[in-house]
Structure 1
Amino acid sequence: MSTTLAPTADAVPPSSSDLKAVFTPHPAHDVEDDTDDEDAQPLLETERTFKDSVHGLIKLSNRICKIIDTPQFQRLRHIKQLGTSYYVWPAASHNRFEHCLGVAHLAMTQIQRLQRLQPDLKITQQDVDCVTIAGLCHDLGHGPWSHVWDTMFIPKALPGKKWKHEDASEMMFDDLIKEPNVNVSPEEAHVVKALIAGDLSRCPELKGKEFLFDIVANKRNGLDVDKFDYLARDCYAIGQGESVSSERLIHSARVIDGQICYDIKDANTVYELCWSRFSLHKRIYNHKTAKAIEYMLIDAVLAAEPYLKIAEQIENPKQYVYLTDDIKLRIQSTTEPELQKARDLLYRIDTRDLYKWVEYKVYPWSVKDVCRQRITPKAIVTHAKKIIKPDNEMYELAQELDEEHVIVDLAHMHCGMKEQNPLNFVKFYSKRKPDRARHAEGGDISHIMPEVFCEVLLRVFARDPRFVAVIQLGFRQVLKAIGNAEAEEEVDLDSESEPDEPTTPKPPKRTMSRNVSRVFAPPDGAVAQGGTTSTWGHNAFTDVGNTEGRDNLPSGSGKKRGADARSPSPPKKKGRTAK
């Protein structure tokens, strides 16, 4: 039997009383409520719901939402979570704003679960609010392009100044709680700032509740809701999907002996989270194109700094509230000739005329100080000028090369605890003994794990593409010099040492490294990159054009430019300036 929606001839039009009944509000929908009981107030007056792409529906109390509805917090809408990685992954357009909402949600979820399941912890509603507010406000101080600001710009703009975004977070929070609609007492503000810093020593009154400091900024082992959110959110934004279930870890968490511990069955999930951190840092946050753009942005802002006095604004919350990623557009909108250099650099970013990547190499953590001290722009320029002689086709470029053309970027890659296995800092419990926690041993988790948990990623960039091949030659000569120096040092040590009396070999000491190595080793008969098994061999996969053997270039050799000898460096581009 079909149903028709068309009116029939027999249809009777609704009466005025029927229409009045239809459009009369139901008593349950009345806005006003005469009761004085806060619990009986309509839901919309006590909490607000946010639809989040990662966590679904997020419900936050009216008190927390008053903090969100301030200029200091709304500023985070204009700061990209991934900074310049957005230029590589167009879908990664999320901001610090939604990340902070997610961290607040996870922080509240975790502490409320602990409050419900472990009443002996005596978690109060004030504890819940302080932890939630700390999660919400932990990133208030991030500057333009997130970590680019405090790790790259400020150290160059204000040499010697010890400043990090956490300092600005406290400054902005102090300014935020002065807003008329915000209800945070001075005592609560003190606790919130200590939770953001992850510093228990600032709150001796919380002795016995040390676990509160494991939730937002965990200095014990790095497992906190901040990491839970940004790993899930960043993976979602780049199209990778969720890497690790933060919900599972939150449901696994239990406080034992004053710290948050996890079920031993979730040990592999904990390790996967730490490995995801390493993977994202290496593939996404430190992508070579994103890094090139970072250096271009910093060079542009530094060029504008003498005229705009941008760095001075970090001490004034009333000025800092307007310091966001929009600074790029503000510089580009200027017309003063003093800012032309800055505008030209920003124009190059928009037209994808970027600083050129020259070479990269991954080094063991143990040589990080050698890399920092000896692989410098000055060393690269010196060696390039030394090896390229007047009859070489690149001689003129070598003479023109200076330190300003060279960028050496050193990035420390690790799983969260630098050279240490992060699992060594986490305690686990079992269902059979839920109130006893201990560190896991190798056989409790897996034997298929790396022996090392950190490395150094070194990359060299050229600000001018004409110098790519020259810089690469200089860089490889630096590597060769370091390798030769180490070899000579080993020979000297061997010649000076006296032969030892034969002794009974001692058994090796038992160490925490109980795993099978994942460290790359070439198969039998193969040669490591760079044509040598030395740590200081170059990366043969990054040769610029036809440069086979150029790193072994003898003095005075090299063909002059001719029909059969092309220059390995591209011709100089016509000057492009911002309109």
Structure 2
Amino acid sequence: MKYEKYEIRDSVWGYISFNDMEKAIIDSPILQRLRRIKQLALTEMVYPGATNTRFEHSLGVMHLASRMYDNIVKKDKDIHILKKAGYLEEGDRTRQLIRLAALLHDIGHAPFSHSSESLMPTDSKTGEEYSHEDYTEAIIIGLLRKTIEENDLNNRKYNITADEIAGLITGNKKLLKDKIIWKKLLSGQLDADRGDYLLRDSYYTGVKYGVYDAERLIVSSVLGINPEAKGNDDYNSLAVGVEKGGWHVAESLIIARYMAFSQIVFHKTRVAYDYHLEEVMRSFLKEKFGKITFPLPTEKGIEEFLSLNDSTIWNYINENRKKDENCRAIIERDHIRSIDETPENPSDEDIDKIMGKTEILKSAGLFCHIAKSYKLWYEFGKSDSTEIIVFENYNNSKILSKYSKVVESLKDGTHQLRIYVKQKDREKAIKKTYNKK
């Protein structure tokens, strides 16, 4: 039986191809919902073009992940390495599994993406907050199971289960066995997720700092043995990294991420809107569900969760603009203003100065909000498989930070604090804190 091939024209990658099985998932209401969830929350209030959504990002990650995979298996001549990654037995099936996991990796996002993650509920068993990956897993093994497992192309050619797709996203080693190594194409320091959103966010915002050489990343990607790994765990002993000749593109990806976050996500006005948006969503959730967190990822809770998107919150904002201060602030662009900030890597003295100014403002009866912009740009040595590996050949390698002094210099990340006050109080607040050096 002949199956159709389809294409979508994408602003970043050009034409993205997909098959009948992928089309069935793309056309499902669950994935279509991502058209109504902005990748960058209210960043469009700063950069008007920043209207890209999780939908096109998901397509882009599917495209990039499979291109990286194709390059790895095409160039890798070491049969032992590929066998450890589960390739020889079912190469096409593994490729399809990666594409489906990449396509679905973000379906568990709440409205306005990461800006609302602080409102995730807590797991009563573990005491930890649920993540969007937990919601993604629940959606795939629940509402999407039939779409996946009853698809004709899947049944005839792949027999991929919903549990396998969810397992590759969440890192279920017990289920995926040797194929778990390919999770690193979806979630890691050199993954297709970052590879897509950096280019896409740069394109839509007009901020060029996130641009890197994507083609070089693709052709430099390689699978090899991590000699620093301990034990016989294939997930740790294998690594998706770059060839020695391509280590500069890995370095540029790290730098691009740092620069893009600094100019986009951590922009002082975007941070101000994150504050208003979180307050609005607290009010919305309290009114709709009786608590200030999203519904739990249970069967009933998932259906309630999926009924929410950016448009739902915008409707609430418009309806309450006259009685809710934060709704009004968003509509009228009367957001809180930053009056002071620490360096990106503040000293204890810098932090003490900022906190001292907040006490002055509070004593004067002025509204004061402290915003924390925190991010690590490169993860150093959390485990032997954490860092980006640069391979001279398949079993001779070094970690990227040994090659790049620039990456080494980013080890402290960003830990910036800002003081925000209401716009009407800005001048008064500045005068009150001016002499607090």
Same fold (TM over 0.5): yes
State the AA in 2 paired with 1:341.
K
Partner-residue secondary structure (3-state), 1:233: helix
Residue 47 of structure 1 deviates from its aligned partner by 1.7
User: Which residue of the other structure, out of 247, 252, 273, is the alignment partner of 1:293?
Assistant: 273
Match of residue 131 from structure 2: 164
Q: Sort the Cα spacing of 1:417 and 1:341 in 2 relative to 1 into closer, same or farther, 3 A.
A: farther
Match of residue 310 from structure 2: 325
Match of residue 219 from structure 2: 251
Residue 363 of structure 1 deviates from its aligned partner by 4.9
Match of residue 284 from structure 2: 304
* TM-superposition CA deviations, 1:148-173 (whole Å, max 9, x none): 1113x3479x9x76121111111222
- Bigger proportion of residues as helix: 2
Residue 449 of structure 1 deviates from its aligned partner by 6.3
User: Which residue of the other structure, out of 330, 333, 339, is the alignment partner of 1:352?
Assistant: 333
Residue 105 of structure 1 deviates from its aligned partner by 0.8
Partner-residue secondary structure (3-state), 1:92: coil
Match of residue 53 from structure 1: 11
* TM-superposition CA deviations, 1:157-202 (whole Å, max 9, x none): x9x76121111111222234244575378963222222212x2xx2
Structure 1 segment 139-538 matched on structure 2, within 5 A? 139-151=106-118, 153-154=119-120, 162-180=129-147, 183=151, 188-197=161-170, 199=171, 202-204=172-174, 206-218=176-188, 222-241=189-208, 243-257=211-225, 258-309=238-289, 311-315=293-297, 316-332=301-317, 334=319, 341-342=323-324, 344-364=325-345, 371=351, 380=357, 382-384=359-361, 398=364, 400-401=365-366, 405-417=367-379, 425-430=387-392, 434-439=393-398, 445=403, 451-453=409-411, 454-463=413-422, 465-466=424-425, 469-470=428-429, 473=432
Residue 412 of structure 1 deviates from its aligned partner by 1.6
Partner-residue secondary structure (3-state), 1:311: coil
Task: Report the Cα distance in structure 2 between the residues aligned to 1:172 and 1:210, rounded to whole angstroms.
Answer: 20
* TM-superposition CA deviations, 1:274-320 (whole Å, max 9, x none): 01111111111111111111111222222333322273435322222
Task: Report the Cα distance in structure 1 between the residues aligned to 2:346 and 2:244, rounded to whole angstroms.
Answer: 30
Match of residue 12 from structure 1: none
Q: Sort the Cα spacing of 1:470 and 1:134 in 2 relative to 1 into closer, same or farther, 3 A.
A: same
Task: Report the Cα distance in structure 1 between the residues aligned to 2:101 and 2:211, rounded to whole angstroms.
Answer: 25
State the AA in 1 paired with 2:202.
C
* TM-superposition CA deviations, 1:225-249 (whole Å, max 9, x none): 1111011111111224571122221
Residue 471 of structure 1 deviates from its aligned partner by 7.0
Partner-residue secondary structure (3-state), 2:32: helix
Partner-residue secondary structure (3-state), 1:460: strand
After TM superposition, the structure 1 stretch with the greater mean CA deviation from structure 2, 255-264 or 47-56, is 255-264
TM-score by length of 1: 0.62
Contact 2:368 2:419 in 1 (8 A): yes
Match of residue 138 from structure 1: 105
**Unaligned ranges ≥5, structure 1:** 1-37, 387-397, 475-546, 553-579
Indicate the structure (1 or 2) with the bigger Cα radius of gyration: 1
Q: Sort the Cα spacing of 1:141 and 1:418 in 2 relative to 1 into closer, same or farther, 3 A.
A: farther
Task: Report the Cα distance in structure 1 between the residues aligned to 2:386 and 2:222, rounded to whole angstroms.
Answer: 18
Residue 551 of structure 1 deviates from its aligned partner by 2.3
Q: Sort the Cα spacing of 1:437 and 1:246 in 2 relative to 1 into closer, same or farther, 3 A.
A: farther
TM-score by length of 2: 0.80
Contact 1:82 1:285 in 2 (8 A): yes
Residue 438 of structure 1 deviates from its aligned partner by 1.0
Task: Report the Cα distance in structure 1 between the residues aligned to 2:348 and 2:358, rounded to whole angstroms.
Answer: 22
Task: Report the Cα distance in structure 2 between the residues aligned to 1:260 and 1:306, rounded to whole angstroms.
Answer: 44
Report how many aligned residue pairs link the two structures.
399
Contact 2:361 2:368 in 1 (8 A): no
Residue 69 of structure 1 deviates from its aligned partner by 1.1
Partner-residue secondary structure (3-state), 2:436: helix
Residue 58 of structure 1 deviates from its aligned partner by 0.7
Partner-residue secondary structure (3-state), 2:182: helix
Q: Does 1:64 align with 2:22?
A: yes
Task: Report the Cα distance in structure 1 between the residues aligned to 2:248 and 2:217, rounded to whole angstroms.
Answer: 11
Task: Report the Cα distance in structure 2 between the residues aligned to 1:244 and 1:303, rounded to whole angstroms.
Answer: 40
Q: Sort the Cα spacing of 1:459 and 1:436 in 2 relative to 1 into closer, same or farther, 3 A.
A: same
Match of residue 18 from structure 1: none
Residue 381 of structure 1 deviates from its aligned partner by 5.2
